[in-house]
């Protein structure tokens, strides 16, 4: 393979796309978990004394996104 061909852009094959994509991860699924975490965190924060719905929603959104990302990694490799 020449240096010119090594730097040429090309589309990925279906097999390469599956390897790069990492499986079933989708942005829609990620943001669904973030939204569900924000909703649950906001409700929990509103119910807890001294926390508040805003900080609870932020924490819940972060945990929802982390949960989705970690679960996809675990499902992909184990």
Question: What's the pLDDT tens digit per position in 16-71?
Answer: 776 665 567 778 888 999 999 999 999 998 998 888 999 999 999 999 999 988 88
Query: Which residues neighbour 30 within 8 Å (Cβ) at sequence distance 6 or greater?
Result: 65, 68, 69
Query: Residue 40's pLDDT is what?
Result: 92
Residue 6 in this model has a pLDDT that exceeds 70: no
Give me the pLDDT at residue 9, please. 79
Domain boundaries, the chain: 24-77
Residue 4 has a pLDDT of 60
Q: What is the pLDDT of residue 64?
A: 92
Distance of CA 12 to the CA centre of its chain: 23
């Amino acid at each position: 393979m020449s240096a010119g061909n090594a730097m040429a852009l090309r589309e990925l094959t279906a097999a390469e796309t599956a390897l790069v994509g990492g499986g079933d991860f989708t942005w829609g699924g990620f943001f669904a978990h973030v939204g569900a975490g924000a909703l649950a965190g906001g409700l929990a924060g509103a119910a807890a004394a001294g926390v508040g719905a805003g900080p609870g929603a932020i924490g819940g959104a972060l945990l929802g996104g982390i949960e989705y990302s970690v679960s996809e990694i675990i499902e992909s490799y184990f």
